[in-house]
Amino acid sequence: MGERAWFHCFSGIAGDMALGALLDAGADLDEVVALVRRLPIDGWDLDAEPVLRGGVAATKAHVRVEADAPHRTWATIRALLADAALPPRLHDRAHATFALLARAEGALHRTDPDQVHFHEVGALDALVDVVGTCAALEVLGVDEVHCSPLTVGRGTVRAAHGTLPNPSPAVTRVLAEVGAPVRGVDSPVELTTPTGAALVGALATAFGPLPELAVRASGFGAGTADPDGSVNATQVVLGPAPTGAGATPAQPVLVVETTVDDVTGEALADALAAVLAAGAVDAWTTPVLMKKGRPGHVVAALVSVGGAEPVAEALRAATGTLGVRVATHARWPATREVVDVEVDGHVVRVKVSPARVKAEHDDAAAVAAATGRPALEVAARAEAAWWSRAGG
């Protein structure tokens, strides 16, 4: 059974509220701090304070930082994460969160994402909030993150760039990229911050009501204020998903794509090979009709979380495109293994999953060339060899 976490953002979400909720739900503070201290940065500390918000017990996560911490670019933060020797899933989750923020900020300021200077979200406390939240998910063994619709306020808020509308442009950009549902309430407070939106935007595989799970624990992460008449907190509910075929944890993935109308067929084939060599899980092209009636192609690559940059660069180089898009998706891959069998003395790899057995075409084609048998016959013999070995 995969462990699920559902964030209930009835009063919005911020980085410290997400972290506080997971600590309140049982994530060990010392273990979380030990993981975050793998970052090659000093001048911070993290503690958890038991508080009440609207009369409800909650935990306030406090990140204490030294004054005048530098603002960091996405390129700098990416290097910090790479140097931190974090567990792979923790690294990928933190990387995906900041990558989403970088794309949103870059689009807002017409700047390359690598050169975006994070202000509020690049400060040391936000860095600890993000990595700390991902560390707490790891400590709790969470495989799958879900989230309710996000609550946002109205009016204006103060930010590094001055007075901004509420919800802030960064929040709406982040939520637009992942298609997250929102609801507005009549509150002048910044209920959902860019950091909070990016965390659930990058990590959640589904948005909606509490998913099916056996409730094991829950917690509330407190916001700073304690206004009358409301609970200023984010709730998290934890528990294993039910057993069965539908309970396999979803894998968050990214789709990197561009649309081109001036690329030859040969170049399209080269582009697919280039993105696969750069780490894409899969790649494809789709013919489309573009503006002014021009025929074109969408060139797309499926990549794991944290692997978008090299694939995007390979796509740019291979097609000469002026822009690349990235969107967050989820997939449920079937378990599979690759087994070697023999056909006429030649090895053919066979991919075995619960649903089917399939010979690798490249192997079948190589054996066909060596033996003179049709590739379809070689594939059929290879699959039959596996079934014979497996007892029919």
Instruction: Give 292-336 as a DSSP string.
Output: GG-EEEEEEEEEETT-HHHHHHHHHHHH--S--EEEEEEE-PPP-
Q: Do residue 238 and residue 278 come from a single domain?
A: no
Q: Do residue 232 and residue 267 come from a single domain?
A: no
Q: Please tell me the predicted confidence (pLDDT) of residue 66.
A: 77
What amino acid is encoded at 126 in this protein?
A
Measured from the Cβ of residue 272, the count of other Cβ atoms closer than 10 Å reads 19
Residue 162: pLDDT band (50, 70, 90) is: confident
Q: Please tell me the predicted confidence (pLDDT) of residue 69.
A: 60
Q: Output 288-297 pairs: Cβ under 8 A, ≥24 positions apart.
A: 288/259, 290/259, 290/261, 294/261, 295/261, 296/259, 296/260, 296/261, 297/259, 297/260, 297/261, 297/263, 297/268
- pLDDT tens string 33-56: 999 999 998 889 999 999 999 999
Distance CA 265, CA 84 (A): 42
Distance CA 221, CA 61 (A): 7
Q: Please name the residue that has the structure tokens 């059929």.
A: 380
Q: Do residue 275 and residue 370 come from a single domain?
A: no
Q: Is the pLDDT of residue 291 over 70?
A: yes
Distance CA 82, CA 39 (A): 9
Q: Do residue 162 and residue 65 come from a single domain?
A: yes
Q: Do residue 66 and residue 47 come from a single domain?
A: yes
Q: Is the pLDDT of residue 121 over 60?
A: no
Q: Do residue 284 and residue 349 come from a single domain?
A: no
- Of the chain, the end-to-end C-alpha distance in Å amounts to 30
67 or 208, which is more confident: 208
Q: Is the pLDDT of residue 383 over 60?
A: yes
- Identify whether the C-beta of residue 103 lies closer than 8 Å to the C-beta of residue 131: no
Pairing of strands 204-207, 144-147: parallel
Distance CA 18, CA 130 (A): 9
Q: Do residue 109 and residue 125 come from a single domain?
A: yes
Residue 161: pLDDT band (50, 70, 90) is: low
Q: Please tell me the predicted confidence (pLDDT) of residue 244.
A: 55
Q: Do residue 295 and residue 231 come from a single domain?
A: no
142 or 335, which is more confident: 142
Q: Do residue 91 and residue 186 come from a single domain?
A: yes
Query: What is the pLDDT averaged over residues 276-305?
Result: 91
Question: Pick from 222, 247, 272: which residue ends a domain?
Answer: 247
Q: Tokens representing 308?
A: 């978008």
Question: Pick from 331, 358, 373: which residue ends a domain?
Answer: 331
Q: Please tell me the predicted confidence (pLDDT) of residue 238.
A: 97
- pLDDT tens string 171-192: 988 888 778 889 999 888 889 9
Work out the percent of the chain whose per-residue pLDDT is above 70: 91
Q: Please tell me the predicted confidence (pLDDT) of residue 390.
A: 76
Q: Is the pLDDT of residue 70 over 50?
A: yes
Report angle CA 338, 343, 345 to the nearest 5 degrees: 110
Q: Which residues on neighbouring strands pair with residue 65, listed in sequence order? A: 44
Pairing of strands 144-147, 3-8: parallel
Q: Tokens representing 314?
A: 């390979």
Question: Pick from 314, 331, 348: which residue ends a domain?
Answer: 331
Residue 112: pLDDT band (50, 70, 90) is: low
Nearest to 225 by CA among 73, 92, 2, 60: 60
- pLDDT tens string 236-267: 999 998 765 444 556 778 899 999 999 999 99
Query: What is the pLDDT averaged over residues 135-141?
Result: 96
What amino acid is encoded at 354 in this protein?
P
29-38, 60-69, 110-119, 334-343, range with greatest mean pLDDT: 29-38
Residue 368's domain comprises 337-389
Q: With a threshold of 0.75, does the pTM exceed it?
A: no
Q: Please tell me the predicted confidence (pLDDT) of residue 122.
A: 47
Q: Do residue 191 and residue 257 come from a single domain?
A: no
Q: Do residue 268 and residue 380 come from a single domain?
A: no
Count structural domains, the chain. 3
Q: Is the pLDDT of residue 153 over 50?
A: yes
Distance CA 129, CA 215 (A): 25
Q: Please tell me the predicted confidence (pLDDT) of residue 245.
A: 40
CATH number for the domain that contains residue 269: 3.30.70.1380
Residue 75's Cβ-count burial label (10 Å; 0-12, 13-18, 19+) is middle
Distance CA 324, CA 227 (A): 43
Work out the percent of the chain whose per-residue pLDDT is above 90: 54
Q: Is the pLDDT of residue 110 over 80?
A: no
- Identify whether the C-beta of residue 4 lies closer than 8 Å to the C-beta of residue 213: yes
Q: Tokens representing 171?
A: 């929040």
Q: Do residue 289 and residue 140 come from a single domain?
A: no
Interhelix angle for 124-139 vs 29-36, to 10°?
A: 120
Q: Please tell me the predicted confidence (pLDDT) of residue 56.
A: 95
Distance CA 150, CA 101 (A): 17
φ/ψ region of 345 (left if φ > 0, alpha if ψ in -120 to 50, else beta) reads left
